[in-house]
C-alpha cells in the first residue's frame, strides 16, 4: 500500500466553549499538557508503524491548536518531525483563534514549517461575535491577521459564518467587505448549522431561534457575488480561494482520499476502514500510556456507503459529481434538474448551477434515490 498522504491532528482545548460548536472540544481543566503531547506522539508512532505515512498535507485542528503554549508547541512539533517523513509536505495548516497568536507564536509556527493559517474570525462586528460567544474582538482579529502576514505566512484563510441570529444582510456584507479589504488568500463562509448537543440547538428547540432557509440563500448569494467579484474562485460550497490557494488537505476529504487522524475524538479512513478515537481526553491519554490505541469504532465501509459519501461531498465541488455514480444512468431527475437550471450536465460530471448551489444537499439526496 502506498504511504498515507494526509494527516490530521486534533487539539481539543479551547479557552471557552462556543454555544454553536459541535466539535469534540473542552476547556483544559486539569489536563496534564506534557502527558497529552506524549500521548499524541505515541499514537503517531503506533499508527505510522501500522500505516506507512509520508504526508503531503498536515492539518492541526480543534478545538484550538494555538491554545498550546509556545513551549508545548515547540516540543510537539520538534518531536513530530523526528517521527514522520516530511520530505513531501507541501501544505501544513494550523487553525488559530485570534486571541492565541502573539508574534512570537506566529514566528514559532513558521520556524516549524507551517505554511498556512486558518483564522477563526467568524464576523467583524461585536454584536455577532457576542451572540457566537467568541472571546475575541474585531480589533484583535485584525491585529492577529497583520501579525501573521508580517511573519511571512503567504497562505491565510479567514473562517466566516452567516445566518447567525441577529445578523443582518448589511452586517454580513460589512463582514465580507472587511475581509476582502484584508486580501486573505482563502475564505471559508459557513452557513450556521444548529447541531444537536449544542446550546444553539436547545435555543432552536425552545423557539428562541428560528431557521430561515430563504434568508440563508440571501446570505449565500451575497457571499458568492461579493467574493467572486473580488477575484475568489468558488471551488466548494463553503470555500473560496485566490489562484493557487485552494486547500489540498480539505480536497483530500472531499474526494475520498485516505487520511490518518490523530488525537482524541478524530476519525481516520484507511484502505476502506474507518475508525474514531475515544472522545475523552483523559481516557485517550491513559490508553496511550498503557501502549493501547485509542480507536473505539472500527467499521469497514461498504461500496454503498462510499457512494453515498461521494454524493454528499463531490457534488459540492467545482469539479462536480461523476455522472457514472448516478443509477440508473438516465435517471429521470437529471433532466428535470437540468431543465430547472439547478444542475449542469457534461459528458462526465454533474455540477451545480448558481441556482442549485444552495440546494446541494437536497439535490444529492434526490439523485441518490
d(CA 292, CA 39): 10
Q: Would you count residue 21 as binding ligand SF4 (CB under 6 A)?
A: yes
Helix (H, G, I), strand (E, B) or coil at 367: helix
Give residues 302-361 in contact with ligand SF4 (rule: CB under 6 A): none
Whichever of 13 and 311 has its CB closer to ligand SF4, that residue is 13
Q: How many C-beta atoms surround the C-beta of residue 177 within 10 A?
A: 12
Cell numbers for 285: 491519554
Give residues 39-58 in contact with ligand SF4 (rule: CB under 6 A): none
Give residues 50-109 in contact with ligand SF4 (rule: CB under 6 A): 62-64, 97
Task: From 12-20, 181-189, 252-260, 280-288, give the range in contact with ligand SF4 by CB under 6 A.
Answer: 12-20
Q: Would you count residue 117 as binding ligand SF4 (CB under 6 A)?
A: no
Whichever of 62 and 265 has its CB closer to ligand SF4, that residue is 62
Q: Would you count residue 120 as binding ligand SF4 (CB under 6 A)?
A: yes
Q: Are 188 and 159 in contact (CB under 8 A)?
A: yes
Q: Would you count residue 144 as binding ligand SF4 (CB under 6 A)?
A: no
Helix (H, G, I), strand (E, B) or coil at 54: strand
Q: Would you count residue 201 as binding ligand SF4 (CB under 6 A)?
A: no
Identify the residue among 4, 11, 14, 252 touching ligand SF4 (CB under 6 A).
14
Distances in whole angstroms, Cα of residue 195 to Cα of each of 118, 122, 127, 199, 215: 22, 17, 22, 9, 19
Task: From 11-19, 42-50, 123-131, 142-150, give the range in contact with ligand SF4 by CB under 6 A.
Answer: 11-19
Whichever of 109 and 364 has its CB closer to ligand SF4, that residue is 109
Give min distance, CB of 121 to ligand SF4, in A: 11
Whichever of 25 and 316 has its CB closer to ligand SF4, that residue is 25
Whichever of 88 and 193 has its CB closer to ligand SF4, that residue is 193
User: Who's near 312: CB < 8 A, 6+ residues apart?
Assistant: 361, 364
Of the candidates 283, 186, 201, the one whose C-alpha atom is nearest the C-alpha of residue 238 is: 186
Whichever of 93 and 97 has its CB closer to ligand SF4, that residue is 97
d(CA 162, CA 40): 34
Whichever of 25 and 105 has its CB closer to ligand SF4, that residue is 25
Q: Are 247 and 93 in contact (CB under 8 A)?
A: yes
Distances in whole angstroms, Cα of residue 4 to Cα of each of 55, 65, 101, 119, 300: 6, 22, 30, 27, 18
Which residues contribute to the site for ligand SF4 (CB under 6 A)?
14, 17-18, 21, 23, 25, 62-64, 97, 120
Amino acid at each position: 500500500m502506498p504511504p498515507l498522504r494526509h494527516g490530521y491532528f486534533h487539539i481539543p482545548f479551547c479557552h471557552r466553549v462556543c454555544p454553536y460548536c459541535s466539535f469534540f472540544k473542552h476547556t483544559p481543566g486539569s489536563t496534564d499538557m506534557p502527558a497529552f503531547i506524549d500521548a499524541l506522539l505515541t499514537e503517531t508512532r503506533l499508527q505510522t508503524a501500522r500505516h506507512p505515512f509520508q504526508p503531503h498535507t498536515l492539518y492541526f485542528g480543534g478545538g484550538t491548536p494555538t491554545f498550546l503554549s509556545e513551549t508545548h508547541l515547540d516540543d510537539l512539533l520538534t518531536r513530530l518531525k523526528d517521527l514522520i517523513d516530511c520530505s513531501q509536505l507541501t501544505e501544513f495548516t494550523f487553525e488559530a483563534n485570534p486571541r492565541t497568536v502573539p508574534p512570537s507564536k506566529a514566528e514559532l509556527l513558521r520556524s516549524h514549517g507551517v505554511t498556512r493559517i486558518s483564522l477563526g474570525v467568524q464576523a467583524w462586528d461585536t454584536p455577532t461575535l457576542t451572540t457566537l460567544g467568541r472571546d475575541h474582538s474585531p480589533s484583535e482579529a485584525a491585529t492577529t491577521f497583520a501579525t501573521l502576514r508580517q511573519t511571512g505566512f503567504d497562505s491565510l484563510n479567514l473562517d466566516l459564518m452567516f445566518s447567525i441570529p441577529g445578523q443582518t444582510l448589511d452586517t454580513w456584507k460589512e463582514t465580507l467587505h472587511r475581509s476582502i479589504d484584508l486580501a486573505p488568500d482563502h475564505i471559508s463562509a459557513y452557513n450556521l448549522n444548529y447541531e444537536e448537543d449544542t446550546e444553539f440547538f436547545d435555543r432552536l428547540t425552545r423557539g428562541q431561534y428560528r431557521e430561515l432557509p430563504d434568508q440563508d440563500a440571501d446570505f449565500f448569494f451575497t457571499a458568492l457575488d461579493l467574493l467572486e467579484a473580488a477575484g475568489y474562485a468558488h471551488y466548494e460550497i463553503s470555500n473560496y480561494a485566490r489562484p493557487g490557494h485552494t486547500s489540498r488537505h480539505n480536497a483530500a476529504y472531499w474526494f475520498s482520499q485516505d487520511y490518518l487522524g490523530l488525537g482524541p475524538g478524530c476519525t481516520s479512513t484507511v484502505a476502506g476502514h474507518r475508525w474514531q478515537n475515544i472522545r475523552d481526553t483523559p481516557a485517550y491519554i491513559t490508553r496511550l500510556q498503557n501502549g493501547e490505541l485509542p480507536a473505539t469504532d472500527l467499521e469497514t465501509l461498504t461500496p454503498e456507503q462510499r457512494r453515498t459519501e461521494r454524493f454528499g461531498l463531490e457534488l459540492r465541488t467545482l469539479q462536480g459529481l461523476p455522472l457514472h455514480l448516478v443509477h440508473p444512468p438516465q435517471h429521470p431527475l437529471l433532466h428535470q434538474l437540468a431543465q430547472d437550471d439547478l444542475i449542469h450536465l457534461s459528458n462526465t460530471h454533474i455540477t451545480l448551477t448558481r441556482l442549485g448551489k444552495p440546494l446541494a444537499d437536497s439535490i444529492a439526496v434526490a439523485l441518490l434515490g
